Amino acid sequence: MADRLVGKKAPDFTLATALGNGQDFGKVSLSDYSGKWLVLFFYPLDFTFVCPTEIIALSDAIEQFSDLDTEILGVSVDSIHSHRAWLNTPREANGLGKLNYPLGADITKSVAKDYGVLIEEEGIALRGLFIIDPDGILKYQVVNHNDVGRSVDETLRVLQALQSGGLCPANWKPGQGHLVAK
């Protein structure tokens, strides 16, 4: 198991990407997100069944994340060519269609390993989601079984709680007060 990541500098990375337009390729590093919040999430493989539901849901919520000065980056162990093929497959055919953020290709599996989500015997990543602050500090991580997709609403709630600057009790929602340390 990986060392604890929350509260520490996020592991650095540089990845080739397939841009959400389904045509272009790029490259991204953790340093590209300096000064912004980042939701970095891992999913097992392209062309699977649960993955498109959460990838599309995050893309559909891009304005809410943008309003919170937050970028999104999805990552799997697939190639940029597989990502592009999936982006160009219609949603009704289990494809993604166009997205509002890039998909990173972790072919070497090193980034998944650094973030503690690599299932080495299968060569794929667990569903791991990480929130990294503008200073590159990892503030939140959740890792779950690959059969269960993540909640965009919960990701937004946690992001807002982290940005609120206070002590947030269970089920805290934006607009609610903070706890006072005694």
Q: CA nearest 38: which of 29, 46, 47?
A: 29
Which stretches within the chain are classed as H helix?
51-60, 62-67, 80-87, 110-114, 152-164
Specify the pTM: 0.93
Q: Where residue 171 falls among pLDDT bands split at 50, 70, 90?
A: confident
Q: Indicate the DSSP class of residue 92.
A: G
Cα–Cα distance, 71 to 36 (Å, whole number): 7
- pLDDT digit string, tens, across residues 65-108: 999 999 999 999 999 999 999 999 998 888 999 999 999 999 99
Q: Is 168 a catalytic residue?
A: no
- The pLDDT of residue 1: 43
Give the amino acid at 137: I
From the candidates 28, 39, 51, 55, give the one annotated as an active-site residue: 51
Taking residue 123's Cβ as centre, other Cβ atoms within 10 Å add up to: 12
CB 117 within 8 A of CB 129: no
* Structure tokens belonging to residue 85: 């093929």
- The pLDDT of residue 3: 67
Name the 3-class secondary structure at 144. Answer: strand
CB 177 within 8 A of CB 161: no
Residue 70 pairs with which residues in a beta bridge? 37
- Domains recognised in the chain with CATH numbers: 14-150 (3.40.30.10)
Share of the chain above pLDDT 90, in %: 77
Lowest mean pLDDT: which of 19-33, 34-48, 154-168?
A: 154-168
> What are the C-alpha distances in Å from 34 to residues 8, 41, 62, 99, 156?
15, 17, 19, 22, 20
Name the 3-class secondary structure at 103. Answer: strand
Residue 179 pLDDT exceeds 50: yes
